[in-house]
Structure 1
Amino acid sequence: MSMIRSICLFCGSNKGAKPEYEQAARDFGRTLAEQGITLVYGAGKVGLMGVAADAALAAGGKVIGVIPEFLKAKEVAHLGLTELHVTETMHQRKAMMAQLSDGFIALPGGFGTFDELFEILTWAQLSVHGKPVGMLDAAGFFQPLLAMARHAVEEGFVPVGNLELFRADADLSKLLDWMRQYQPQSVPKWLELSKT
């Protein structure tokens, strides 16, 4: 049983093409606040990022933002957060977000969201961390990505056990329950497999 006191959110700086995405972000922020879970995210005031943060704050939640100086200078930072940390680089931003969080959830987003999600999955694969990684599958957004992950397994690039490092679910309560029950997986690396 994992103590989930803070969750790092990866999501779009746009709201996307479907109203379900914005609704999922709003429900996500409110639910975390209601459950006393701190929201950690990239500190944006725009897109799904801003929607989730505003919903958490409106429900009395704690929201911690981490943003690199160059993005803050572009005036995209949310200045109404509980805490705002400013870093020099994107790498420092991602490292601090990971350090502050007990788990990670991705909502719909673009290349930045994919980058953050895959980096944190890679860190899990390498046992850099043992924290749960989830995807809130609003309107089936992550289905093509999940198909790609299965394809990578079938083509011999991802050990099948690594599919257990994360979970996708359209139901946030089920996703949070899974995160609380999560036990880090010990999946053999390709280098280890090649020695047997």
Structure 2
Amino acid sequence: MRDTLNVDSVYLLEIPCLYSRPLSITSHNSNNFFLNAPPPDVPSSHLRSLASAGEIELSTEALKAPIITPYFTDLMQAHLQGCIYQNSLPPLLTLFPDDIHSDIVVPIYDDTQNAFGFLIAMTKDPQRQFEDEERVYLSNFDVNVVSEVLKRRVIVADRVKGAFISSISHELRTILYGILASCELMEESK
């Protein structure tokens, strides 16, 4: 994706506060969408960088800083299909070095249309001007991202379930062996 868009870096940021409460997107007679039930105006959990490619680094301090949810819900309400920032940066990109010149920020929605995070493509080149086709390309890529994330979550959940079942089975076997031993002892004592 980085090479296709000819950018310095691409980031996938998961923002857990966006899906910790339901944020559904509904349509009303047109292509206008809006978020329902936005999270409260309080600092919440931290950003998680799920993937990145390129030269521009996200600082570890930025990942540790609490995030304020209204900025993200406002961004998603105003730019459901993403936004191109030429010669300026949205507050989200204060997490990155100051030499970023332009970027594309695209919100990602999961399979149930709940907010999930953002795809961000950035460049340091002052001559580079993003086109709307690049924003569309990036916004279409979110389906692939969400399917991969959901696949990994299913794998993790399956492993946890397997470990739980095997530990419960072991505990049940111990009890059953005790019951069987008691029954054998009672039968021998007759």
Please report the TM-score for the alignment, with normalisation by the length of structure 1. Answer: 0.24
Higher share in strand: 2
TM-score by length of 2: 0.25
For the pair shown, which has the larger CA radius of gyration, 1 or 2?
Answer: 2
